[in-house]
Chains A and B, each alone.
Chain A
Amino acid sequence: AQSVAQPEDQVNVAEGNPLTVKCTYSVSGNPYLFWYVQYPNRGLQFLLKYITGDNLVKGSYGFEAEFNKSQTSFHLKKPSALVSDSALYFCAVRDSGNTGGFKTIFGAGTRLFVKA
């Protein structure tokens, strides 16, 4: 069965410092991995995805994520955090194989607070 874990409910970081939001996954086949961001009372916005190829994926707003197959992780990173990055971040996985169909499994979310 597919699953996604975001081990931290909340991450606090000072503006200008690097940030990391953690995500681990479990799928039976090869994973398609996604990061989304949600601002208060809004829908989710797509940030980046890993399909295949280079393990370091670059996305919107200066975010990037590193795929690590041996650790089954897909951590979201940004070299220098902004106060405006404060939001709720979701990691999501979809199995590339036939199991699970088109279902995407979302993690519970990690709230990021960036302090000025």
Chain B
Amino acid sequence: DGGITQSPKYLFRKEGQNVTLSCEQNLNHDAMYWYRQDPGQGLRLIYYSQIVNDFQKGDIAEGYSVSREKKESFPLTVTSAQKNPTAFYLCASSGTGRVNEQYFGPGTRLTVT
């Protein structure tokens, strides 16, 4: 988990509310990623960013939004449009070459009721 922080660790929200998950890295990595993890489904990519002020949708971007105003930060907003937001959310970063492994944060468990 070293070098990437996610806060908070646990988050509870009422249905219909937007919520923002924080991700900060001090690894000087250009690329950052958001994944969603559900039991038995592995990791699914929500958004990724290869450079500041640029990001691309992943496989399940609907109902989510991101920004990349600083190299160190890549916050994820879960909007009320996300139909099933309760999940474990993981942020990661890496160098920009395809050979580079990803470094993951400790995750945020979001529960929406």
User: Which positions in A face B, CB cutoff 8 Å?
Assistant: 9, 32, 34, 36, 41-46, 49, 51, 90, 94-96, 101-104, 106-109
B62 interfacial contact with A, CB 8 Å: no
Closest-by-CB residue of B relative to A103 is B45
Q: A109 to B42, Cβ gap below 8 A?
A: yes
Q: Knowing A43-B4, A44-B90, A109-B42 are in contact, say whether A104-B102 is a contact too (CB < 8 A).
A: yes
Q: B104 to A44, Cβ gap below 8 A?
A: yes
Q: How far is the CA of A9 from the CA of B40 in the complex (A)?
A: 8
Q: A43 to B1, Cβ gap below 8 A?
A: yes
List B contacts of A109 (CB < 8 A): 40, 42
Q: How far is the CA of A44 from the CA of B43 in the complex (A)?
A: 10
User: Which positions in B face A, CB cutoff 8 Å?
Assistant: 1, 4, 6, 31, 35, 40-43, 45, 48, 50, 56, 58, 90, 92, 96, 98-99, 101-107, 109
Q: B105 to A41, Cβ gap below 8 A?
A: no
Q: B42 to A106, Cβ gap below 8 A?
A: yes
| One of B6, B41, B101, B105 near A34 (C-beta < 8 A) | B101
Q: A42 to B99, Cβ gap below 8 A?
A: no
Q: A43 to B105, Cβ gap below 8 A?
A: yes
List A contacts of B98 (CB < 8 A): 32, 94-96, 102
Q: A46 to B41, Cβ gap below 8 A?
A: no
Q: Knowing A101-B56, A108-B40 are in contact, say whether A41-B107 is a contact too (CB < 8 A).
A: yes
Closest-by-CB residue of B relative to A96 is B98
Q: B102 to A46, Cβ gap below 8 A?
A: yes
List B contacts of A45 (CB < 8 A): 1, 104
Q: A46 to B107, Cβ gap below 8 A?
A: no
| Minimum distance in angstroms from A82 CB to a CB of chain B | 21
